Structure 1
Amino acid sequence: MIKKTLYFGNPAYLSLCNAQIVIKLPAVEKSPNVADIIRQESVVTKPIEDLGVVVLDHQQITITQGLLEALLENNVAIVTCNSRSMPVGLMLPLCGNTTQNERFRHQLEASVPLRKQLWQQTIRTKINNQATVLRQSTTAETRCMQIWAADVRSGDPDNLEGRAAAFYWKRLFADKHPGFTRSREGEPPNNLLNYGYAILRAIVARALVCSGLLPTWGIHHHNRYNAYCLADDIMEPYRPYVDKLIVDIINSAEDYTSLTRELKARLLGIPTLDVQINGQRSPLMVAVATTTASLYKCFAGELRKIVYPELS
């Protein structure tokens, strides 16, 4: 079952009651002029078991310890945002699987050749998905990207990922943004990419924990300051789905120079994006769970290939 994403962009009191998240509005709670019946009707509840991601995007949100505990026990990813509404924090449960110790050992003992092969599969799928986005969104010729994808060797020692990325970003937004450069601090639509990737990262990190894996221990990324190296690895083939959504936003002529509530709502729909995986159509959040489950089987020696989605 696909889990829901809850976004809070206004002051709110968030608490727990009967396995439900209870949402109260401070403006209503504190007002002496509001009738009790209206105050009661303003309270909203949601079953915690239905949630996958909770985004906290306001400085005046109060959340109880009891609710935090319940959310983490149900493998809900909690994303916190800064004053510019950009995600800056991610809270995940420490234990997300009943056989976690065994799964950790399989992951940590994975050989270097296996990790390099898994990275090869990851980059091949990413480049092929990027090529599909270019074909669908631009008039660019993508045969070179297909050749690069086929030529990726174990561990990608030739850095074909970087070559494909340079080709891809130069052309993806060329019509509306000639000379576009992908940068976290760059001009729009970098703001949309940053926000979309942060949501995607939370989805992937949550799925890894649910599969009993360490999101810190990557197959390729290994920055000592990065707590989510494996999430950054596994999200690579999913990034083009976010890119395609942002192309659609740009083509809709909507103002995206700042992250409006409407834009955030569209980007928070990333978990429900339709993807093709294992020959079937599936919401992105469910597909990510399939990918992370297959990754564990690769570590355990039960599979030789990660199951990734393919853009078509």
Structure 2
Amino acid sequence: MTWRIVVISSVCKLDLKLNHIVIRGEQLRRVHLSEIAVLMIENTSVSLTAALLCELSKRKIKVIFCDEKRNPYGELLPFYGSHDTTDKLRTQIGWDLETAGIVWAEIVKDKIRKQAGLLSEYRLNRQAELLESYIDEVQPHDSTNREGHAAKVYFNALYGMDFSRRNENTANACMNYGYAVLLSAFNREITAAGYFTQLGIFHDNTFNPFNLGSDLMEPFRPLIDKCVLEMDPIELGTVEKMKLVEVLNWEVVIDSKNNYLINAIRIYCRSVFDAMNTKKPEKLRFYG
């Protein structure tokens, strides 16, 4: 079972031996690849062997590379996530627009529902009730932009009327870091299932290679927001980054069962693909 999130922060060499990742730094450590869900390379001085990178891709282990500021910058994605990738591409290109509109509306509703729940936890009941009223107003394709209106109310309630997601501050830096980690987890599941991250349900930015991941991750953003609020950070340092990465190991309920978030993402993504392929939005499964 893949569950470990391995973060490499110091200078070392990584190679492959007998299905283990071998970490050669100040100490010699080994981790079996079957246990790893995510490998994050924080230090730009880390070296890796091609054999290891190839095996990580084969096993669909998400590899995230950070820049010189230790912020997520890129990721390793395999060309082929499943044996029938070509068929999946044809199917994805042909996804029904009407179904896509309904699925996107359900995703937006669940995101707003999660945002309202977080506001309620912080006793911001008036704003939570306003967000709940938006849920019934969401139309297919979110043509009334309830998501945008909800976001403004949500962030202003949490951080004040002068707050903007465009501001350069610690809260935004932490959220951006957490969102990047979350997006990588979704891209992993999309490619592992044989689909293409470029072709979204709602997002269709020509310059965004992760349109589908950007779509699917929306209801999960409030988990990152909650982590940032609980930390109340004064900087985006190593401790804060580790806490944000550990969100992937939080437990949530999906399909009436407790699951690590990283496994819940897999269940949820597969439900979205089922909903789109069968034109049955009722197949969607959100975490509770």
TM-score w.r.t. the length of structure 1 is 0.88
Structure 1 residues 172-251: aligned runs within 5 Å: 172-174=158-160, 179-183=162-166, 186-250=168-232
2:16 corresponds to which residue? 16
Of 240, 246, 251 in structure 2, the residue corresponding to residue 274 of structure 1 is 251
Shift of 1:279: 2.4
In structure 1, give the amino acid aligned to 2:82: N
Distance 1:4 1:92 in 2: 19
From the CA coordinates, give the structure whose radius of gyration is larger.
Answer: 1
Is residue 170–residue 236 contact of structure 2 (8 Å, CA) maintained in 1? no
Distance 1:66 1:274 in 2: 33
Shift of 1:234: 0.2
Partner SS state of residue 197, structure 2: coil
Is residue 2–residue 285 contact of structure 1 (8 Å, CA) maintained in 2? no
Moved over 4 A (4+): none
Shift of 1:2: 4.4
Shift of 1:302: 6.8
Of 129, 135, 139 in structure 2, the residue corresponding to residue 153 of structure 1 is 139
Of 129, 134, 138 in structure 2, the residue corresponding to residue 143 of structure 1 is 129
Evaluate the alpha carbon distance shift between residue 82 and residue 265 of structure 1 in structure 2; reply closer, same or farther with a 3 A threshold: same
Deviations 1:6-40 (CA, angstroms, capped at 9, x unpaired): 11111010011111100011xx4xxxxxxxxxxxx
Distance 2:154 2:217 in 1: 17
Of 53, 63, 68 in structure 2, the residue corresponding to residue 68 of structure 1 is 53
Q: Per chain length, whose mean CA-contact separation is higher, i.e. which structure has more relative contact order (CA < 8 Å, sep 6+)?
A: 1
Partner SS state of residue 212, structure 1: coil
Is residue 199–residue 270 contact of structure 1 (8 Å, CA) maintained in 2? no
Is residue 173–residue 247 contact of structure 1 (8 Å, CA) maintained in 2? no
1:31 corresponds to which residue? none
Aligned length: 286
1:95 corresponds to which residue? 80
Task: Structure 1 unaligned segments of length 5 or more: list them.
Answer: 29-41, 251-255
In structure 1, give the amino acid aligned to 2:42: D
More moved, 202-211 vs 121-130: 202-211
Shift of 1:293: 0.9
TM-score w.r.t. the length of structure 2 is 0.95
Partner SS state of residue 269, structure 1: helix
Partner SS state of residue 268, structure 1: helix
More moved, 234-243 vs 262-271: 262-271
In structure 1, give the amino acid aligned to 2:78: P
Quote the sequence identity (%): 23
Partner SS state of residue 300, structure 1: helix
Residue 109 (structure 2) pairs with residue 124 (structure 1): yes
Distance 2:121 2:162 in 1: 20
Shift of 1:258: 2.5
Of 97, 100, 121 in structure 2, the residue corresponding to residue 112 of structure 1 is 97
Shift of 1:288: 0.6
Shift of 1:150: 1.6
Is residue 96–residue 212 contact of structure 1 (8 Å, CA) maintained in 2? yes
Structure 1 residues 289-300: aligned runs within 5 Å: 289-300=266-277
Distance 2:144 2:68 in 1: 40
Shift of 1:233: 0.3
Distance 1:43 1:171 in 2: 48
In structure 1, give the amino acid aligned to 2:76: M
Shift of 1:304: 2.4
Shift of 1:263: 1.3
1:48 corresponds to which residue? 33
Is residue 11–residue 46 contact of structure 2 (8 Å, CA) maintained in 1? yes
Task: Structure 2 unaligned segments of length 5 or more: list them.
Answer: none
Is residue 137–residue 247 contact of structure 1 (8 Å, CA) maintained in 2? no
